[in-house]
């Protein structure tokens, strides 16, 4: 049996950076990845990067083509091909960065525990077993597929990953779900020229956002021709000669409805990917959602086995998987001060058009928690840069604590929001008074300078 200082199961964000770090420190490392199409993990292959590349392509397409399906479909086909080149490039470079290291071995096969220290890898020419002193699980997450009649039989039902492989632009895309993926794919396919209908089970659009923000997003989406149907529970799916029909019922009164489309995207969340790990052989425990239970320092209940990224539950972001790596590095080689508890506030960005980014508390959350707050709002048009970019949709919003002047939250729904939120994040993380951003010298014209006015509360 081959012996390693560390075995990493899953070539995700945390796993690949950890492999490089351990290798730099002279550890003998095995990294196990189930598929040769996934070197580098979800982000560069099926998630963040291909979607953001296509969202950019959709923005360009929407500038040039309107109501001209052949041209839009052609642009989409080319965009998918360019996306494939990009993911292939990133996959290769991710592979090479680790494969060129003499003390790192990449095994391409499904990894599973046979004991707390041994991992079986299913290779094409038979299984092998590896023994590791420390074992790191970084197997990510997988889509949750709801129980809808006919969903498994249909050839027109896609997940976010399989949808990205389709190079024929759907004329009508139906999206079932209520989270980030439905927003990004709706905005993207509408940009390419598809009609998009979103079916959501809940009765509130974007329930975690303040109503003014959610309404602003809804208005922009509606203007782009995206239809949002709330209270809609998908019941059955069946393929037709020229597409697919989805039957759904109105949650409030049970009324059935039918909708015809060319493709259905299922975006109903993702669950930790533990299916093949055989965790019981190692005695590693999971919670009620199937997430590997970890301490704040990311150790599982078995001290030499760690879990990082989506597989341990919680918010699913590449940058949190990266931060999990930092916590483990600190536990192994540092002063052991880092843990999950010290990383708030964590911003997020949803790459719709314009992007939506948020950090900290919303107005509703701050009021619910009994804070005395000042709220400031600014239409995107008030920032002159939005006019030079011809992207005047959206609004900016900030929440400031009345007692100590600290920034409690900020939501930006405007061009460049995904970049500017990081400035607010730095101000919050370093505990700045709101006047720090009110009086900061920003370049001009920029969207960041909008923070001067936004924080003039």
Ligand X SMILES: Cc1cc2nc3c(=O)[nH]c(=O)nc-3n(C[C@H](O)[C@H](O)[C@H](O)COP(=O)(O)OP(=O)(O)OC[C@H]3O[C@@H](n4cnc5c(N)ncnc54)[C@H](O)[C@@H]3O)c2cc1C
Ligand Y SMILES: NC(=O)c1ccc[n+]([C@@H]2O[C@H](COP(=O)([O-])OP(=O)(O)OC[C@H]3O[C@@H](n4cnc5c(N)ncnc54)[C@H](O)[C@@H]3O)[C@@H](O)[C@H]2O)c1
List contacts with ligand Y (CB under 6 A).
146, 176-182, 184, 200-202, 234, 267-270, 315-317, 348-351
Single residue of 4, 7, 13, 57 touching ligand X by CB under 6 A: 13
323 near ligand X (CB under 6 A): no
> Given the rule CB under 6 A, which of 58-66, 204-212, 310-318, 356-364 is the region that contacts ligand X?
310-318
Single residue of 276, 365, 419, 456 touching ligand X by CB under 6 A: 276
Choice between 237 and 311, CB closer to ligand X: 311
Cα distance between residue 160 and residue 435, in whole Å = 42
111 annotated ligand-binding residue = yes
By annotation, the residues acting in catalysis are: 444
CB of residue 323 to ligand Y, shortest distance in Å: 14
140 near ligand X (CB under 6 A): yes
Residue in this structure with the two tokens 């989406």, named with its chain if needed: 221
Single residue of 309, 354, 355, 394 touching ligand X by CB under 6 A: 309
The helix, strand and coil proportions of the chain, stated in percent and rounded to the nearest 5, come to 35, 30, 35
The full DSSP string for 366-416 is: HHHTT--EEEEEEEGGGSHHHHHTT----EEEEEEETTT-BEEEEEEESTT
Cα distance between residue 189 and residue 317, in whole Å = 22
DSSP 149: B
CB of residue 355 to ligand Y, shortest distance in Å: 9
141 annotated ligand-binding residue = yes
Single residue of 6, 7, 14, 307 touching ligand X by CB under 6 A: 14
268 near ligand X (CB under 6 A): no
Single residue of 23, 300, 321, 448 touching ligand X by CB under 6 A: 321
Cα separation values, 306 from 118, 134, 190, 283, Å:
14, 8, 41, 13
Of 276, 262, 260, residue with least CA distance to 76: 262
Cα distance between residue 29 and residue 369, in whole Å = 47
Cα separation values, 81 from 70, 88, 89, 260, 457, Å:
17, 11, 12, 28, 47
Binding positions for FAD: 52, 111, 139-141, 310
Binding site for ligand X (CB under 6 A): 9-14, 32-35, 38, 41-43, 47-48, 51-52, 110-111, 138-140, 160, 181, 273, 276-277, 309-311, 316-319, 321
């Amino acid at each position: 049996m081959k012996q390693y200082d560390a075995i990493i199961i899953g070539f995700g964000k945390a796993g690949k950076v950890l492999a490089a770090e351990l290798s730099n420190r002279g550890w003998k490392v095995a990294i196990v990845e189930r598929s040769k199409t996934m070197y580098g993990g979800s982000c560069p292959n099926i998630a963040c990067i291909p979607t953001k590349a296509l969202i950019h392509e959709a923005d360009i397409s929407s500038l040039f083509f309107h109501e001209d399906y052949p041209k839009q479909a052609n642009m989409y086909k080319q965009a998918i091909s360019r996306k494939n080149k990009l993911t292939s490039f990133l996959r290769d470079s991710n592979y090479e960065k680790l494969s060129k290291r003499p003390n790192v071995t990449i095994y391409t096969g499904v990894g599973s525990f046979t004991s707390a220290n041994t991992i079986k890898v299913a290779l094409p020419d038979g299984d092998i077993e590896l023994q590791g002193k420390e074992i790191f699980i970084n197997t990510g997450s997988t889509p949750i597929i709801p129980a809808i009649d006919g969903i498994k039989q249909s050839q027109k039902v896609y997940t976010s990953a399989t949808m990205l492989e389709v190079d024929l632009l759907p004329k009508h895309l139906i999206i079932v779900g209520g989270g980030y993926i439905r927003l990004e794919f709706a905005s993207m396919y509408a940009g390419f020229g598809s009609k998009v209908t979103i079916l959501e089970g809940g009765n509130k659009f974007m329930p975690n956002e303040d109503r003014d923000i959610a309404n602003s997003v809804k208005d922009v989406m509606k203007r782009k021709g995206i239809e949002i149907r709330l209270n809609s529970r998908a019941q059955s799916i069946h393929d037709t000669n020229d597409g697919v029909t989805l039957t759904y019922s109105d949650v409030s009164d049970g009324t059935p409805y039918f909708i015809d489309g060319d493709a259905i995207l299922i975006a109903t969340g993702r669950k930790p990917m533990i299916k093949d790990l055989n965790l019981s052989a190692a005695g590693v425990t999971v919670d009620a959602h199937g997430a590997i239970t970890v301490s704040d320092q990311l150790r599982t209940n078995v001290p030499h086995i760690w879990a990082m990224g989506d597989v341990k539950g919680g918010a699913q972001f590449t940058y949190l998987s990266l931060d999990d790596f930092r916590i483990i590095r600190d536990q192994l080689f540092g002063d052991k001060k880092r843990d999950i508890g010290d990383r708030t506030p964590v911003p997020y960005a949803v790459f719709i058009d314009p992007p939506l980014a948020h950090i900290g508390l919303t107005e509703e959350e701050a009021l619910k928690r009994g804070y005395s707050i000042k709220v400031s709002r600014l239409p995107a048009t008030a920032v002159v840069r939005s006019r030079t970019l011809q992207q005047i949709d959206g609004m900016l919003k900030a929440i400031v604590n009345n007692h100590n002047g600290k920034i409690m939250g900020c939501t930006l729904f405007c061009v460049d929001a995904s970049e500017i939120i990081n400035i607010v994040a730095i101000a919050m993380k370093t505990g700045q008074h709101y006047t720090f951003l009110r009086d900061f010298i920003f370049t001009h014209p920029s969207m960041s300078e909008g923070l001067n006015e936004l924080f003039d509360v």
